[in-house]
């Protein structure tokens, strides 16, 4: 891999520090947090109906079960906690809030109707069975198609037509330009609904302190600060009295970047009973109630020149919001994301879009890895292939015709989105070279076995990462700060503590932030210890999602490091009788570049800074070696990449074999190539799952049919091909450090590349592949239908 040319540890394969304990089974996850002796446990009574009025709840039998302390419903909880409402400042959004337990109606299967408080989790589970709820079932709005054509029953009385969000846009003179072109290519793509399925489901433990409203709140989340702000608001208690702590988090993938009603109930009841309360989710609850994602219909229409150049593009995205708008991203994240990102690495001057989101009687949707980008790139990359087929061009040539060229960068697209740098064309060319694209095409043409259908799929993409405050405001999200923060303290020992506003869920932050700090401060890597996920010590920030840590918190670390560096230089110069500008810091030693024998360790400098020697500080300087820096990055930073997949589809079984899989990725300055490769691999495998097998299935009544891991199929090691990864490094220009995010590119590239490969294989039969997931049974049906016509 081409790493960065940065001196020091940035760009080096440094083994992940966190793995020593995680791989030895010594990680401490939410269920491992020691629970105080008098801890009570919760169990939630979940609705078996997608849509029903609640006539009556009888909890008498449950309350008498040994070990049960209480059973509470909306009637009791509503006096303890306000409904959760996400504020979204964008035109076309209809406000929506969710009570922490269902009030008079349930709106999806799994919605909480009552909560059992018990002395152990087993009693809580047994009691759940005894709570009698009298429901009056109502017709359910489930499918997006029905929601879109207005035939679905209303989900909320105050959201007419179930339309919770709509937005449109068009560049000047769009219609005339569109109509002027002769060639039109269009397609409608339908994605399945998927779940994040982290290895560790959610859970929390709330421990009230001695003061009336003090609360220590452990939760398996990616967003401790946002949870804390949310708890304070919903429980109407002072924010400073709450400490949110994330232990090790066993994966989140966005599903843990939401503030959940269970978190509110656990906290509210800990304060009510003045004793510790714990709740750990099981897999069924996870699949029923942790946010779902995708479930989109994305239509694209392009007006194209005979050479395959897109002259005008029209997008229409419809997304399924589920029953409620979830906090903090709401239901606008996916539609605004899809229609804003679809232009991707292409130079398209004329663009119009419509985006809509409908509420339905299904689990709320939210921010899952990639957000809308696997869908919008499925659409634009699928369209590129269809343009190629229509004009009898090679699909790679169509992409080369439209891709942004190096001499156009910095490039600002029709929506005002700026790419300060990028290797859009170079990644395509390199991926084609690495894949042996010409040979793959030859093998496809030379294939003589009628039962083997060969296909090649390409996906060129950009990935929105590290969005700053302006980027979030542009999408109406007012509960996401956009900045991130780093606090650095050089301790009296000369060792360095770094607290960031991030909260890792497996991304390797304890290693990569140490690398950044070590390089920018001149501290030895071993001397730097990184802390995250405790709101009492970590400064406020946006937390971990949307591939933002490297860009936003990385920038904050650089800013803070530079501030401390300057102070150390001044103290060292004073003690060494040198000039601050001559002082260089390396390996926790400060030395005079012109007289290197004049040197002093960080420890000696720190002792002076903390007044632990007889030496004094320069006149007027404050004690200590500590600072906090806030960094608000540009609206977004744009990594890019290309995936190429070559597949064989068995015409008799619909089975897919992946022969070759190539990725070329550009995330700017690479902090740790090993971690970057792990991120790309993990994301690609999730994309493989999304395109080929994963799907949450609701029936027409809104019953979730596969809330278990036997029926919700995930990729295993047997499904994953050899992934050939390569990188191009074009550092970001507009942000500190030149880093671009990498957390989501894998899934964004994989879904379209694999889908296009299968579509390419089946195209000669006249099969149109435009609906995910591509399971063998559904492919076989498409093949049989084509053969029979």
| Shortest reach from residue 743's CB to ligand MCN, in Å | 3
**Between 223 and 318, CB nearer to ligand MCN:** 223
Where are the strands (E) in 138-237, listed by range?
Answer: 163-170, 183-190, 193-195, 203-208, 215-219
Query: Which element (helix H / strand E) includes 780?
Result: helix 776-787
Residues whose CB is less than 8 angstroms from the CB of residue 426 and which lie 6 or more positions away in sequence, other chains included: 406, 666, 728
The least distance separating ligand MCN from the CB of residue 667, rounded to whole angstroms, comes to 4
**CA proximity to 609, closest of 571, 563, 560, 581:** 571
Q: What are phi and psi of 384, to 5 degrees?
A: -55, -45
Contact residues: ligand MCN, CB under 6 A = 251-254, 369, 465, 505-509, 512, 544-550, 667-672, 675-676, 679, 682, 739-744
Q: How far is the CB of 556 from ligand MCN (least distance, A)?
A: 12
What kind and span of H or E run contains 392? none
Residue 276 or 743 with smaller CB distance to ligand MCN: 743
Nearer of residues 231 and 676 to ligand MCN, judged by Cβ:
676
Our CB check for ligand MCN shows the closer of 126 and 484 to be: 484
Of 391, 299, 316, 392, the closest CA to residue 355 belongs to: 316
Extract the tokens encoding 404.
């942004």
Q: Of the two residues 374 and 494, which places its CB atom closer to ligand MCN in the complex?
A: 374
Q: Nearest approach, Cβ of 696 to ligand MCN (angstroms)?
A: 17
C-beta of 258 vs 413, nearer to ligand MCN: 258
Q: How far is the CB of 740 from ligand MCN (least distance, A)?
A: 6
User: Judged by CB, which is closer to ligand MCN: 14, or 647?
Assistant: 14
Cβ of residue 746: shortest distance to ligand MCN, in angstroms?
A: 9
Please name which of 687, 680, 692, 708 lies closest in space to residue 649, comparing C-alpha atoms: 692
According to DSSP, the residues that pair with 489 across neighbouring strands are 497, 626
Distances (CA, A) of 604 to 524, 599, 600, 612: 15, 10, 6, 9
* Closest distance to ligand MCN from the beta carbon of 407 (Å): 25
DSSP structure class, residue 700? T
167 or 191: whose CB is closer to ligand MCN? 191
Nearer to ligand MCN among residue 162 and residue 469 (C-beta): 469
CA distances from 686 to 320, 374, 577, 746, 747 (A): 21, 11, 58, 8, 6
Looking at the Cβ atoms of 401 and 423, the one nearer to ligand MCN is 423
**Minimum distance from residue 235 beta carbon to ligand MCN (Å):** 27
CB neighbourhood size of 479 (10 A):
19
Q: Which is nearer to ligand MCN, 575 or 671 (CB)?
A: 671
- Give the shortest CB-194-to-ligand MCN separation in angstroms: 13
Taking the complex as a whole, the smallest distance from the CB of residue 681 to ligand MCN amounts, in Å, to 10
What are 261's two structure tokens? 């009603």
- The smaller minimum CB distance to ligand MCN, of residues 252 and 335, is found at 252
Q: Tell the burial category of 563 from Cβ atoms under 10 Å away from its Cβ (0-12, 13-18, 19+).
A: middle
291 alpha-carbon distance from chain centroid: 12
Residue 601 three-state SS: strand
Tokens standing for residue 687: 């994309």
Beta-carbon count within 10 A of 323 CB: 28
Q: How many residues does the chain have?
A: 789
CB 768, min distance to ligand MCN, A: 31
User: Can you tell me the distance from the alpha carbon of 188 to that of 671, in angstroms, rounded to the nearest whole number?
Assistant: 39
Minimum separation from the CB atom of position 473 to ligand MCN (A):
19
Closest to 256 in 3D by CA, of 246, 266, 264, 265: 246
3-state secondary structure (DSSP) of residue 381: helix
Between CA 363 and CA 292 the distance in angstroms is 7
């Amino acid at each position: 891999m081409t790493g960065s040319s940065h001196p020091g540890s940035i760009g080096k394969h440094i083994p992940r520090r966190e793995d020593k304990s995680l791989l030895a089974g010594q990680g401490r996850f939410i269920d491992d947090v020691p629970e105080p002796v008098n801890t009570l446990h919760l169990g939630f009574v979940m609705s078996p109906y997608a849509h029903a009025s609640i006539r009556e709840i009888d909890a008498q039998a449950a309350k008498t079960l040994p070990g049960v302390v209480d059973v509470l419903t909306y009637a009791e909880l509503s006096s303890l906690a306000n409904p959760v409402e996400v504020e979204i400042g964008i035109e076309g959004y209809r406000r929506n809030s969710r009570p922490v337990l269902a009030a008079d109606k349930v709106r999806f299967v799994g919605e909480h109707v009552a909560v059992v408080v018990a002395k152990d989790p087993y009693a809580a589970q047994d009691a759940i069975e005894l709570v009698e709820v009298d429901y009056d079932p109502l017709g359910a709005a489930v499918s997006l198609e029905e929601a879109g054509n207005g035939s679905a029953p209303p989900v909320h009385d105050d959201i007419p037509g179930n339309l919770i969000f709509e937005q449109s846009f068009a560049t000047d003179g769009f219609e005339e330009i569109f109509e002027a072109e002769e060639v039109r290519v269009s397609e409608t793509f339908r994605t399945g609904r998927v779940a994040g399925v982290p290895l560790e489901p959610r859970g929390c433990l709330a421990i009230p302190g001695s003061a009336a409203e003090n609360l220590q709140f452990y939760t398996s989340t990616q967003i401790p600060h946002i949870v804390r702000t949310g708890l304070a608001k919903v429980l109407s208690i002072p924010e400073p009295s709450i400490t949110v702590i994330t232990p090790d988090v066993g994966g989140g993938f966005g599903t843990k970047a939401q503030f959940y009603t269970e978190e509110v109930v656990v906290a509210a009841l800990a304060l009510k009973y003045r004793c510790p309360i714990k709740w750990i989710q099981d897999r069924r609850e996870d699949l029923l109630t942790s946010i779902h994602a995708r479930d989109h219909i994305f239509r694209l229409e392009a007006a194209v020149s005979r050479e395959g150049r897109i002259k005008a593009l029209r997008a229409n995205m419809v997304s399924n919001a589920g029953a409620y708008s979830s906090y903090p991203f709401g239901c606008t994240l996916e539609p605004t994301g899809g229609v804003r990102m679809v232009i991707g690495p292409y130079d398209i001057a004329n663009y119009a879009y419509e985006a809509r989101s409908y509420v339905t009687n299904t689990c709320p949707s939210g921010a899952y890895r990639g957000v809308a980008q696997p869908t919008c790139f499925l659409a634009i990359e699928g369209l590129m292939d269809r343009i190629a087929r229509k004009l009898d061009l090679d699909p790679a040539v169509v992409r080369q015709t439209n891709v942004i060229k190096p001499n156009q960068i910095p490039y600002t697209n029709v929506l005002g989105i700026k790419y300060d740098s990028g290797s859009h064309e170079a990644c395509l060319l390199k991926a084609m070279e690495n894949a042996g694209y010409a040979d793959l095409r030859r093998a496809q043409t030379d294939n003589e076995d009628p039962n083997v259908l060969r296909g090649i799929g390409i996906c060129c993409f950009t990935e929105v990462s590290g969005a700053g405050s302006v980027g979030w405001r542009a999408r109406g999200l007012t509960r996401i700060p956009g900045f991130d923060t780093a606090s650095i303290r050089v301790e009296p020992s000369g060792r360095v503590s770094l607290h960031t506003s991030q909260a890792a869920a497996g991304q390797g932050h304890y290693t990569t932030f140490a690398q950044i700090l070590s390089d920018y401060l001149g501290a030895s890597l071993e001397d730097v210890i990184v802390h995250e996920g405790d709101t009492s010590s970590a400064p406020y920030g946006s937390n971990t999602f949307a591939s933002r840590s490297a860009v936003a918190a990385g920038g904050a670390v650089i800013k803070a490091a530079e501030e401390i560096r300057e102070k150390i230089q001044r103290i060292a110069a004073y003690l060494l009788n040198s000039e601050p500008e001559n002082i260089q810091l390396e390996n926790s030693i400060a030395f005079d570049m012109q007289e290197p024998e004049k040197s002093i360790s960080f420890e000696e400098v720190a002792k002076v800074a903390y007044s632990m020697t007889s030496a004094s500080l320069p006149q007027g300087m404050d004690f200590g070696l500590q600072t906090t820096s806030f960094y608000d990055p540009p609206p977004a930073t744009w990594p890019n990449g290309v995936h190429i997949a070559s597949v064989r589809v068995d015409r008799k079984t619909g089975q897919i074999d992946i022969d070759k899989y190539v990725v070329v990725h550009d995330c700017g300055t690479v902090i740790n190539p090993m971690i970057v490769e792990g991120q790309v691999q993990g994301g690609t495998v999730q994309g493989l799952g999304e395109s080929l097998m994963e799907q949450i299935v609701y029936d027409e009544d809104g019953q979730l049919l596969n809330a278990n891991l036997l029926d919700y199929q995930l990729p295993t090691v047997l499904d994953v091909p050899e992934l050939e990864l390569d990188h191009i490094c074009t550092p970001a220009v507009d942000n500190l450090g030149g880093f671009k995010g990498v957390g989501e590119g894998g899934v964004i590239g994989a879904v379209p590349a694999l889908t296009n490969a299968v579509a390419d294989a089946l195209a000669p039969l006249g099969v149109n592949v435009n609906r995910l997931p591509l399971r063998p049974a559904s492919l076989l049906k498409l093949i049989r239908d084509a053969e029979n016509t």
